[in-house]
Amino acid sequence: MDIIRSMRRLFLTGFFILLLAPFVSASEVDGKMFVVDPVAAPTTTTKTSRIWPCAGFVNSQLLGIIYDELKVLADSEKLVQPDPTLCDYKIGTLVLFGKTMTLYTVEYYVSPQHRRSCLFNNYCDDTRSMTFKVKNGVLHRQYMLTNVARKLTRFACISMKGAVVDMNGGC
């Protein structure tokens, strides 16, 4: 129950911050929650993703909410917390059953070594990420934490208003 109380407290705080978010401007974000089609060239490109630093491409208040929620989820699984200075914003494509989907993901890393492995070796063995997902026509935050050594994959789905949709599953 402590994790749910912590998450609710974070969500209520986050909801009020998001109400103020349109009045905050930073780089390409310009009062939006995140940039859908960045003008700036990506800092890194993979076969399926274009990658930028989070700052300037995801609203700073929203980044704080995402980071805090990832910390709570990591603590609940007794995993290493993400490093707040290691954050990438990824726009990627996923092909499922012949349909192409665009994914908008905020990826925090637990160390510079894990970040390099994810970006340059395409091997992410300890992830802390959030992907914007649409569920029933409404935008949500889908969290995913993985740890290969512990054979752990944990999902959680939170509405953009901060309501817990599913603490143990995806959106």
d(CA 137, CA 24): 26
Edge-to-edge strand ranges of the sheet holding 138-147: 44-45, 49-53, 83-96, 99-109, 126-135, 138-147, 152-159, 164-166
The domain segmentation of the chain, as residue ranges, is 2-166
- The pLDDT, as a whole number, for residue 28 is 87
- The pLDDT, as a whole number, for residue 72 is 95
- The pLDDT, as a whole number, for residue 30 is 78
d(CA 70, CA 60): 15
How do the pLDDT tens digits run along the chain, 171 residues long? 555 555 555 444 444 334 333 333 347 887 889 999 999 999 999 988 999 999 999 999 999 999 999 999 999 999 999 999 999 999 999 888 989 999 999 999 999 999 999 988 889 999 999 999 998 899 999 999 999 999 999 999 999 999 999 999 999
Helix (H, G, I), strand (E, B) or coil at 31: coil
- The pLDDT, as a whole number, for residue 96 is 87
User: Minimal CA–CA distance to 4: which of 114, 167, 168?
Assistant: 167
- The pLDDT, as a whole number, for residue 21 is 38
- The pLDDT, as a whole number, for residue 39 is 93
Instruction: Quote the pTM value.
Output: 0.81
